[in-house]
Structure 1
Amino acid sequence: MKVAIYTKYGSPEVIQIIDTKIPSPKPNEILVKIKASSVTRADTMMRQGKPKFGRLFLGLFKPKNTALGTGFSGVVEAVGSQITKFKIGDSVFGEKLFSNGSNAEYLCIAENVVIENKPRNISHIEAAPICDGFLTSYNFLKDIADLKPGQHILINGASGSLGSAAVQLAKVMGAKVTAVCSTRNIDFVKSIGADKIIDYTKTSITNINEMYNVIYDSVGTLSYKDTKNLISSNGIFMTPVLSGQILCQTLFNPKKVKFAATGIKKTEELKRLFLELVDFFKQGKLYTNIDKSYKLPDIAEAHHYLETGRKVGNIVIVNP
């Protein structure tokens, strides 16, 4: 089978497509033939080895884990002897963390992690990125912010994978949403439910005369220092994008500034959030926007496009 890997940090050109043996599932695993997989900003940052202090965990001089991709959707091709939930031919989707990546033709995954039968009302392409944008943002809105009906949230980067997921989720949770995006993405962000739009190309967020219960910076371009006058007395600033500045602000003001790496939550906590998302999708309350799709041999091109910052929603890799 073909799989995308990177053995050193750098530009998208460090990505290689290699041939390797199709894995055999362990007794508690299923083998999935991948129909679609995600490409995210987190993938590009790990490939670049940024921020550099992150290499203490990723690998100081070269990556410890050479795999790419986490989110996937596909069809069960084989099952281990202990499998009870899934059967051959089932359409499934989920997330594979900290091991063999999803930017491949096949993967093996345990039955008891973040994986579920794909809702019939969404395609493999729509399902593949759910655990990246939606799962991360749902963790922030529900578990970190404890967002309540009627509260006001500002979402920065509202047209991206995390941001567009957050806009929809905040509306499902009953919040009032102010979304920050560029001029060309205003219509899209309105279409997914934003109550108010701030065009950052015309208006500086620091000049806004409004208070928010939550500021969710999904792209890492703001800071608590710049926005603290916009946050209510019991409000918080939160972001999934780690930087030296955010790390310091989190350490010195932990009640107001929140950073979290969703992928390191306990499996049972991730599954709880994931299964709630599955129900939302089954009910048609959430929508995955796909900006572009690429074939696996063209994954470097996908990384290049993601780094332009022009992505609207999600990018996926599609296998035949």
Structure 2
Amino acid sequence: MQRETAVSREGFLVKRGHIVHNWKVRWFVLSKDQLLYYKIEGGKKESRPRRIISLEGCTLYCPCMDYENRPLVIKLKAKNSVEHFLEASSREQRDSWAADIQKMIRASNPEGQEQSNGSNMAFELPANICLSHLIIDMQESNSGIKEMTNGEYGNTYKLCFTGSTVIDWLVSRNVVNSRSDGVTLASLLIEDDLIKPVGNKSTKAVWNFAGTEQFLDDSTALYCFAKNERKTDSSNDKIEIPHMELSGKIVKQGFLMKQGHKRKNWKVRRFVLRADPSHLHYYDPCKEKNDQPVGGFSLRGCLVSALEDNGIPPGIKGNVQGNLFKIITTDDVHYYVQAGSRAERSEWIQAIKQVT
């Protein structure tokens, strides 16, 4: 059971996956001796963390030079040698997160106690295996994992498979040397949203794990592939932003959640507020090349206002977190945005009003 600890700070950071090295936004919570992160679903933080990183024996690297095109990355090396790469929204945010994490690392290590050199080495994917090919092989109709209809506690689930089936498949094809390695690999596939828990037993295991393993090598725990939720970039979605719009002085930047205009789904974007000329642009922090805006608009003549937190206002869909505000352009386009806190929402509204 997760213990209650005082929160030092919290907010969005972009995290690199352990095996599939893609980048995903997570909500991080820093406390006295641990760093937790949560997934955002439907505009709201999930109730329980995806992972708990113990800060005891950790080593922090800032600046981190591992990613040339991502200068805002912090590297956190855990006691068991697992490396966590976390990206902030600005240099100021990167440095302040690093300072706060370092403070908690010191607090979690008694003075004079030597840090471990990592005797429990992390599982590493064999060099001759490409994970993207592995997932394709797992979904092959003839030689892959069979998707079947399974039942649990009176509920019926289609196109799923058991946890023990996954481990059997990995071991029988010599992808891993042992079932414990298979559990670790499958757990990382869950974390990167390539496999998803189905039903009560496997879902509870995701939330209640105490280390790096959360996958169940169990014939009654159900899982499915996340193939139907995969999204690909379309060249038709590329938006050309005039250079003049990007020439203004940066007034404020940070991570905010924005509701889409068509699907009405919520996504975390890095917002950049500029003045002279006054524009608000937003970037997709998960893209490999995230230095080009995916959207933006002029703030001249715009109206910005906070939305009440009691109930869901008209125009809003999803089970939202709160701290909402709305921007209406001169073309009567409505942008709905969520900040991480009430104070952050006030700061954004005030900054936007100053440049409109």
Which category of TM-score, normalised to the shorter sequence, fits these structures? under 0.3
TM-score by length of 2: 0.24
Q: Higher helix share goes to which structure?
A: 1
Normalised TM-score (structure 1): 0.26
Structure with higher Rg: it is 2
